[in-house]
Chain A
Amino acid sequence: MENPIKTYTLPDEKGHFEIFGGQYVPETLIPALSELKELYNTLKQDGAFTEELSQILKSYAGRPTPLTYANRISEELGFHVYLKREDLAHTGAHKINNVLGQILLAKRMGEKRIIAETGAGQHGVATATAAAKFGFPCTIYMGTEDIERQKLNVFRMELLGAEVIPVSSGSCTLKDAINEAIRDWITNVETTYYLIGSVVGPHPYPMIVRDFQSIIGKETKIQFKDITNGDQAPDTIVACVGGGSNAIGIFHTFLSDNVRLVGVEAAGKGLKTDKHAASITKGSFGVLHGSASFILQSEDGQITLPHSISAGLDYPGVGPEHSYLKSIGRVEYASATDDESISAYIWLSEKEGILPALESAHALSFLRSPDNGIHSGENVVICLSGRGDKDVQTVAEFLGRDI
């Protein structure tokens, strides 16, 4: 199939990816979003800013992360699998890339306080970490349901000096944590920086988060050439999609290249049930948390409750850019169930000595799908977005093991 993208300049000035994206927020937030957009557009051209960011990514976050050849699973599958090791970044996931970028923006804006939402806790931990490093007071909103399944991360955030506020409205998960963070921001907009953790929310966030995460793809491109002695690019790149920041991060650099891109959503207990979080595959057009995208909703336009065993994918929406890339056919979107992901989690642990995050295990699971369209001998890169230590308890419970 011909690549529909030759040059890629989206979003437009108002944050639209054609019909997706935009700024569907209360008027109170518009001045803050405009200020953020202007500052960001200036700073991304500013050599001192980009240098400061790349230094801290190197000396503090441990970038570049390696690209690891997974020889045992490659042998089993009959194609070459490379793992982009975001699990080895500081705090154990790709989230830190975006957080360090945004905290530098907050510093330049002279903000006094950082707030963020978290689902699995990875973004909360990364935010609490950066807030500690830069001396900001930090408040993290987290659904009570997520607090229950990610106790370790809650304690990590507290150790890092953040205040974790439990959110018990709606489904008590990520979507409700975002609602509550937005309410806090509306109330404290003059002093507070809202550090969004994924490529969601109103413009300019999906663009800013994408740009900060695109380092994953940029490194991958260079590393792949080095490892393969000059092969242009991998044949296929696979990443999991909740809000979609690690996926956009690894895809973005390759959008106009001849590379097959696959996003894997959470199918939960199955796409035929109503217990999944596959907003692109099963959702419809709508507005959630400040942007237009594919969302899970009822016939009346009420947001419905998603399900995934992986807290980081348990979200009824997806970044607007993913909806756009789906609509033009540039990225394929598949899905993996809870069962398949747990199985992939164990598989990678046993075969490669790497515990993947349950989120990333969704992407891995695609490799084992019989109709994945991957040919033997192909080069496939998986974005291993995070490490799986945080999920040990969930996996044990799923397997009926008492630990």
Chain B
Amino acid sequence: MNRIQQLFKKPGGKLIPYVTAGYPSLNLTTKLVLAMEKGGADMIELGLPFSDPLADGPVIQASSQVALKNGVNTQWVLEQVEIIRKSSQIPITLMGYINPILKYGYNKFFFDCQQVGVDGIIAPDLPIEEAKDFVLLSKSNNISPILLVAPNTPNDRIRTISQMAGDLVYCVAILGVTGEKLSKEATLVKYLSRVRENSNTPFIVGFGIKTHQDVERINRLSDGAVVGTSFVEKLRDSNHPEKTVLKYVKELKGVK
């Protein structure tokens, strides 16, 4: 059983911070992940930067550009996970667009992910129509393929997606790209209840989640809240990145 499967066997909402690997600088990635864990994060989503991130808003786009300028590639991100694993067992999922993963090679990618201790993969531009090999190879390497559901995904498709994913599904909270505003309560309740009824697996929710209140709201309706853009924004404006993320994780958890 991998760390994601173990984590989601436990009841209760989880907090999942996101950070773009190699942002704001190369030497910070492992430190930021460990600081997030220290603050009480349940799982980490680590972004593999891509030149053309079409599901991301301007903040994460800009962080990807910086990371790529810093020289980040897939190999380097996997090395950071290997370093983190020396001192931490926090579940880690990578979030990456499919082209760099294809270029790295599916076989090699999933094998290497398993070797360094990655637990899950999210590919935001890979719908189930194109995900067959991806899911097969992921599972055969004991990695959870975290497939996506959107607010306009029909019920029968939610069932298919969750069945294919097997362990965990990622629900995009809004019709939009990362960093936009969260929907109204009624819309969210309706959407996430629909997912609850149709999904065979636990599900986490991301896009537009920024505050402790947002996290509480989302966690009442799902199994976990992903916070991304706000972490990147806070890092962008911070002189003490580790302290900043530690404090923000606590704030999101509602811990003094």
Known A26-B55, A26-B150: A189·B175 in contact at CB below 8 Å: yes
- CA–CA, A26 and B53, complex, Å: 11
* Other-chain contact of B104, A183, A290, A301 (Cβ < 8 Å): A301
Known A288-B99, A302-B68, A303-B52: A24·B130 in contact at CB below 8 Å: yes
Interface size range on B against A: 35 or more
A187 and B153 within 8 A (CB): no
Q: Is B46 an interface residue (CB 8 A)?
A: no
Expressed in whole angstroms, the minimum distance between the Cβ of A29 and any Cβ of chain B is 8
Give the residue among B58, B98, B129 with the most A Cβ atoms within 10 A.
Answer: B129
- CA–CA, A134 and B130, complex, Å: 36
A31 and B125 within 8 A (CB): no
A186 and B176 within 8 A (CB): yes
* Other-chain contact of A26, B50, B54, B101 (Cβ < 8 Å): B54
Closest B residue to A304 by beta carbon equals: B51
- CA–CA, A183 and B177, complex, Å: 6
Q: Indicate with 1 or 0, residue by residue over A171-194, a CB within 8 angstroms of chain B CB atoms.
A: 000011001001100111110000
Q: Is A234 an interface residue (CB 8 A)?
A: no
* Other-chain contact of B125, A24, A187, A189, A297 (Cβ < 8 Å): A24
Q: Is B124 an interface residue (CB 8 A)?
A: yes
Q: Indicate with 1 or 0, residue by residue over A292-307, a CB within 8 angstroms of chain B CB atoms.
A: 0001010111110000
Interface size range on A against B: 35 or more
The interface residues of chain B lying within 8 Å CB-to-CB of A30 are: 127, 129, 150, 153, 157
- Interface positions, chain B 132-177, Cβ under 8 Å from A, are 148-154, 157, 161, 172, 175-177
- CA–CA, A303 and B51, complex, Å: 6
- CA–CA, A285 and B54, complex, Å: 19
- CA–CA, A297 and B73, complex, Å: 13
Q: Is A4 an interface residue (CB 8 A)?
A: no
Expressed in whole angstroms, the minimum distance between the Cβ of A185 and any Cβ of chain B is 10
The interface residues of chain A lying within 8 Å CB-to-CB of B99 are: 286-288, 295, 297, 301, 303
Expressed in whole angstroms, the minimum distance between the Cβ of B104 and any Cβ of chain A is 7
The interface residues of chain B lying within 8 Å CB-to-CB of A228 are: none
Give the residue among A170, A186, A289, A295 with the most B Cβ atoms within 10 A.
Answer: A186
A28 and B129 within 8 A (CB): no
Q: Is B74 an interface residue (CB 8 A)?
A: yes
Q: Is A225 an interface residue (CB 8 A)?
A: no
- CA–CA, A28 and B99, complex, Å: 19
The interface residues of chain B lying within 8 Å CB-to-CB of A285 are: 102
* Other-chain contact of A301, B100, B149, B152, B180 (Cβ < 8 Å): B100
Q: Is A169 an interface residue (CB 8 A)?
A: yes
Give the residue among B52, B57, B98, B157 with the most A Cβ atoms within 10 A.
Answer: B52
* Other-chain contact of A300, B65, B100, B129, B161 (Cβ < 8 Å): B100
- CA–CA, A170 and B69, complex, Å: 12
A175 and B52 within 8 A (CB): yes
B54 and A183 within 8 A (CB): yes
A26 and B148 within 8 A (CB): yes
- Interface positions, chain B 44-102, Cβ under 8 Å from A, are 50-55, 57-58, 61, 65, 68, 73-74, 98-102
B175 and A302 within 8 A (CB): no
The interface residues of chain A lying within 8 Å CB-to-CB of B55 are: 26, 183, 186
The interface residues of chain A lying within 8 Å CB-to-CB of B129 are: 14, 22-23, 30
Expressed in whole angstroms, the minimum distance between the Cβ of B94 and any Cβ of chain A is 14
Expressed in whole angstroms, the minimum distance between the Cβ of A116 and any Cβ of chain B is 16
- CA–CA, A113 and B67, complex, Å: 36
A170 and B154 within 8 A (CB): no
- CA–CA, A288 and B65, complex, Å: 17
The interface residues of chain A lying within 8 Å CB-to-CB of B180 are: 187
Expressed in whole angstroms, the minimum distance between the Cβ of B70 and any Cβ of chain A is 13
Q: Is B126 an interface residue (CB 8 A)?
A: yes
Q: Is B103 an interface residue (CB 8 A)?
A: yes
- CA–CA, A295 and B51, complex, Å: 13
A residues in contact (CB < 8 Å) with B: 14, 22-28, 30-31, 169-170, 175-176, 179, 182-183, 186-190, 285-290, 295, 297, 299-303
B residues in contact (CB < 8 Å) with A: 50-55, 57-58, 61, 65, 68, 73-74, 98-104, 124-127, 129-130, 148-154, 157, 161, 172, 175-177, 180
Please give 4 more A-B residue pairs, beta carbons under 8 A apart, in addition to A30-B127, A299-B103.
A28-B152, A169-B61, A186-B55, A187-B176
A-B contact pairs, 15 of them (CB 8 A): A22-B130, A24-B126, A26-B127, A27-B149, A30-B127, A31-B152, A169-B61, A187-B175, A189-B152, A287-B99, A288-B99, A295-B99, A297-B103, A301-B104, A303-B51
